[in-house]
Every structure is written in C-alpha cells, then in structure tokens.
Amino acid sequence: MKFLLAAINAKYIHSNLAVYSLKNYVEGFGEKVDIAEYTINQNLDELLADIFIKHPDVLCFSCYLWNISYVKQLLVEVKKVLPNVVIWLGGPEVSYSALKFMEAYPQVDGIICGEGEQSFLEIVEYYRGKRNSLKDINGIVYRMRKTSENEEQIVENPFRQVMDLSEVPFVYDNMDRFEHKIIYYESSRGCPFSCSYCLSSVDKRLRFRNSELVKEELQKLIDAEVPQVKFVDRTFNCKHEHALEIWKYISEHDKGKTNFHFEVAADLLNEEELSLIETMRPGLIQLEIGVQSTNPKTIKEIHRSMKFDVVKHNVDRIHKKGNIHQHLDLIAGLPYENYESFKKSFNDVYALKPEQLQLGFLKVLKGSFMYENAERYKLVYQARPPFEVLSTKWLPYEDIIRLKGIEEMVEVYYNSRQFENTLEELENIFEDSFTMFEKLSNYYNEHGLFLLNHSRIARYEILLDFIKEQDRGHIEKYRNLLTLDLYLRDNVKNRPQFSGDDTVSKEEAVQFYDREAQEHTYLQGYEDYDKRQIRKMTHLEKINGKLYLFDYKNRNMLTNQAKLITVS
C-alpha cells in the first residue's frame, strides 16, 4: 500500500511542516510514506501527471485556504486517471466542515479533523491490514461504502484528544530537502485567546514542546546556518517562561546567520523579555504583531484582549532600539470598524513606524465565530477562498475598494522600504498618513495606473509626478530625497532622469577614490579592492552641498539599506 502525502504550497520557498510531521511520526512506528511538494503556481495537469506517475494507493492532501480551490479541482481529475486511489484530506480548511465537504466531493474517502499525527498513523495501519476498521480511529470523518448495495454512509468519529507535542518528531535532520526554503518550526500548539475570526481560537488546548528538546533542535538549525526559521506558534509569548527560555537560548547561541520569526502579543511582553530583546543582534529575531484595530468597541466585539496603549509603548520601545524588525497587522472589515474608524486604526499603527504594516481584509472562515455571526454583522464575503469580506454593516463595498487601493499603495511605497526618506517628508503636508496614501491611491486611479505593471524606477517617477500636484514649491527637495532613497537601495547603473545630471564631477570622484584606496578613511572591508573596484562598488552623491558615500557592502540588517556616510 503506497501512501503519498501531497502538499501544495503558496510559493516555492515555502515548505509544508504538517506533511513532514506526519511522515516522520508514522516512520517512528515503522511505516513508510512518501511526500510530494508542489506549488499553486504549477499547472494543474503537471501535478496530475506527477501524481499519476507516482501511482499511490492512498493519496492525502494537506488543505489550507491558499490551496483548497486547487485541491478541489485536482482531486476530481485524480479520480478519473486513478479510479481506485483512496483519497484522504486534512488541514484547517476541511477540519471544520468535513461532513459537508465529503457530501460535496464523493471522490474523498475520509478527512482527518484537527491534529493529524496519531489519526494518520492509525489510518496507515488500517490500509496496511494492521487494523480491522476505521470505526475506532478518533478524529476522522470517513465514507463507509457498503459493497453489496451501491450504498454508502458518511461516519463522523469522536474527536481525538490532543497529543503531547514533544512526541511529534523533529523533521529537519536532513536539511538537503529544505535548501532555499523557509524552515517552519512549532514549539507550541493551540492559542489561549478567542479572536472571533480565527480558527485557532476554536481549539483552546494549548500545549508546549519540551524546552530542552526545542533548544536541541534549534541548535541543529543554527549549526546548519539556515537563513530563516519561522515559528508557527500562534502566540509565541503567551507563556513567559517558554518564550524567555527560547529567546535566551538563541541569543546565547547565535552564529550571526539565522533569523527567527515569531508571532507575538506585544502587550504581553514583560520587562525581562523587553530587556533581552534590546540586547539581541540586529536581525536575530523579527516580530509579527497583530493589532487588527485600535477601536475599543471593535476589539471587544471580536473578543480580543489587546491593550493598545501597552502595545504602543512596547513597540515604540523596541523600535527606538533599532535592532528588531517589527511587522504590524491591521484587519479591515471587522465589526464597528467603518472607514473613518479604520483610518484612525491605520494612523495609530502607522505612527509606530513598524518595518512592515500589513493591511489585511477580514476572511470569514467556516467554523469561526465570525462565520456563525455573519448575518448579525451583515457580512457579505466571497463565496470562494479566501472568503474575504466584500461589505459589512459598517463598511460598504465602495469603501472596501478604496481601502484596497490604499493597501496597494502601502505595499508599494511603505512596505517596500524604498521611499523611506521621501515619505517621511511628504507625510508632513497631509493631515495624516492615511490621507497621504488615500490621495496617492486616488492619483493612481485617476491616471489609470493601477492597471499597469510598473518598473521600480517608474514608481519613483509616479511618486514625483504626484508630489508635483501636491507640493510644487518644493520639488527639488523631493527630487533629492527620491535620489537618496533610490541609491540607498541600489547602486543603479543608469542614473534615472528624475535625478538629473551627476552631482559629483568626474575629477572630484577620481580624487576621492584615489585617496580612499590609499587611506581607507570611510569604507570598512574594502582593503582588498583597488580604486576602480571600490568606485564600482559604492556611490557618491552630492545633496544640498553635502557629499555622501553609499556603502553597499555594509547594509542595515533590518532595512537592507546601504550604509550612508557623510564625507563632507
């Protein structure tokens, strides 16, 4: 009986921790299964052919919001070319609506609901003749086919008790398979909070992996010098001792190569954690913080317990130290959040100057409290994944469209970090930051710019054209700032038109690099290069009479910007 666990990821760089956990878990009991990883960007027929060639007897799909449409199409086709294959599904996208899913897709033989390791082991044992029936396997819904008549029945077994997380095997003993991939790691499962839109709130059974085991495993990842480890823990710092112990360990054993990503509740960070974070190497950790809204009525209604004044204080404190990348999230479309109140939420969060500000839209997920209360909130949402909100009692579709435009402007001009100095100055001429992005979005709309693909340089030119409409009197100042932002990012080969002629004469540049190649006054780490090479690797620019040197070898670990040196 050949088992194939198929994972369809959103991007090539992702890997699917769940299927590796299942494989390693059952292998611990002597059962062998295979894994196939694909991406949603691959042609469906390509996957179909690959699965056909692999010819599994039992095919299992790991189902998430980002791949469920793909899985639904694929399983229908698979059954046509492999009519005898048994199909099982698992994952959050099917766990909470298993019965309905099985009714809609007769191709599916069963669904694992919730945590999968033990259920999957028992399913493998069943198909390999080590168990007599599926009826004693908890945590599954399955199709019982009655062979005599052409009848069948869908059976829902009782829920499965959660397992000890330390029994889940470590999946990264052989790192070859994960080269160029983000490594996902789980040190806790479940979430103690109850946010009404989130499926993690449905399962409150919070448990932790033994911290000694965690340290041992993290050491392997540190030794392998993997670039990034993303903790999938829903709220990593919900237990102080656990978070502190792990943060201390990675700080003390850091080799300067690995970045660790954590989702945290910023208002739960205590003094000891904050003090430790302040001492960390820039780039050692990054924090993702869900604010979602700063409207107290909204926060209460969605059952969150976030104290924004504490979030503000802690995010601000971390920001001032400048060593941690902070990613803050907002959600549009929540109860009691209209356009004006979202504007306030946005301005409150933007004022904290996170490295990334993600403006997301409510997803109405089956099984969530929000889904159950959709009528009460007059939630209108997409019928297809990701089930994103289209309008609410407080937010008409027109406003959602406006916010979509603003979201794109925030992505392009703020989150790209390519216009930092320009935006910082530009903000001052608007009543607030939200209005700046709103006006920029209106400009894109009026000029039909949303529908086109723009080069990186074109984004600078569009911003300058927009500024000409807003603040014509100071256009030179903005040209300088855009040039500064451009060169901070890249040593561009062809100087763009908006930057005007070279600001440093050939003679001045020759003199500077002659001297620098001998004296090494400004640049560190260039000692082995000659003056021509140094000139190629750096950039000189005169702004407002001051001479600046852009050092691309020594970039800022958080922003990736070149080191800016004032020469004179």
Binding mask 9-48 for ligand SF4 (x = CB under 6 A): ----------------------------------------
Residue positions counted in the chain: 568
Contact call for residue 417 and ligand SF4 (CB under 6 A): no
Contact call for residue 261 and ligand SF4 (CB under 6 A): no
Instruction: Report the nearest approach of ligand SF4 to the CB of residue 150 (Å).
Output: 43
Binding test (CB under 6 A) with ligand SF4, winner from 19, 94, 134, 191: 191
Contact region with ligand SF4 (CB under 6 A), list: 192-200, 368-376, 433-441, 491-499: 192-200
Contact region with ligand SF4 (CB under 6 A), list: 9-17, 49-57, 78-86, 194-202: 194-202
Instruction: Report the nearest approach of ligand SF4 to the CB of residue 272 (Å).
Output: 21
Count of chain residues binding ligand SF4 (CB under 6 A) = 9
Give the integer Cα–Cα distance in Å for 490 and 477: 20
Contact call for residue 193 and ligand SF4 (CB under 6 A): yes
Give the integer Cα–Cα distance in Å for 262 and 289: 9
Contact region with ligand SF4 (CB under 6 A), list: 72-80, 153-161, 189-197, 508-516: 189-197
Q: Which is nearer to ligand SF4, 296 or 525 (CB)?
A: 296
Asked if 69 and 383 touch (Cβ cutoff 8 Å), the reply is no
Q: Which is nearer to ligand SF4, 234 or 242 (CB)?
A: 234
Binding test (CB under 6 A) with ligand SF4, winner from 188, 201, 314, 368: 201
Binding test (CB under 6 A) with ligand SF4, winner from 95, 97, 200, 314: 200
Asked if 8 and 70 touch (Cβ cutoff 8 Å), the reply is yes
Select from 72, 68, 66, 61 the least CA-distant residue to 106: 72
Binding test (CB under 6 A) with ligand SF4, winner from 230, 234, 325, 539: 234
Contact call for residue 368 and ligand SF4 (CB under 6 A): no
Contact call for residue 312 and ligand SF4 (CB under 6 A): no
Instruction: Report the nearest approach of ligand SF4 to the CB of residue 265 (Å).
Output: 6
Instruction: Report the nearest approach of ligand SF4 to the CB of residue 199 (Å).
Output: 7
In one letter, which amino acid is 554? N
Radius of gyration (Cα) for the chain, nearest Å? Answer: 27
Contact region with ligand SF4 (CB under 6 A), list: 77-85, 156-164, 191-199, 449-457: 191-199
Asked if 463 and 515 touch (Cβ cutoff 8 Å), the reply is no
Instruction: Report the nearest approach of ligand SF4 to the CB of residue 30 (Å).
Output: 35
Asked if 429 and 468 touch (Cβ cutoff 8 Å), the reply is no
What are residue 540's DSSP bridge partners?
Answer: 549
Instruction: Report the nearest approach of ligand SF4 to the CB of residue 290 (Å).
Output: 6
Contact call for residue 198 and ligand SF4 (CB under 6 A): yes
First vs last Cα of the chain: how many Å apart?
74
Q: Which is nearer to ligand SF4, 261 or 535 (CB)?
A: 261
| Edge-to-edge strand list for the sheet holding 285-292 | 183-185, 228-231, 259-264, 285-292, 325-332, 356-361
Give the integer Cα–Cα distance in Å for 413 and 531: 35
DSSP strand pairing (207-208 vs 188-189): antiparallel
For residue 392, give the DSSP letter.
-
Instruction: Report the nearest approach of ligand SF4 to the CB of residue 226 (Å).
Output: 25
Write out the binding residues for ligand SF4, residues 100-159 only, by CB under 6 A: none
Write out the binding residues for ligand SF4, residues 278-297 only, by CB under 6 A: 290
Burial class (CB in 10 A: 0-12, 13-18, 19+), 184: buried
Instruction: Report the nearest approach of ligand SF4 to the CB of residue 189 (Å).
Output: 11
What does the H/E/C string look like for 220-266? HHHHCCCCEEEECCCCHHHCHHHHHHHHHHHHHCCCCCCEEEEEECH
Residue 30 — left, alpha, or beta (φ > 0 → left; ψ -120 to 50 → alpha)?
A: left
How many CB atoms neighbour CB 424 within 10 A? Answer: 12
Q: Which is nearer to ligand SF4, 256 or 296 (CB)?
A: 296
Contact call for residue 195 and ligand SF4 (CB under 6 A): yes
Asked if 392 and 377 touch (Cβ cutoff 8 Å), the reply is yes
Binding test (CB under 6 A) with ligand SF4, winner from 119, 235, 341, 392: 235
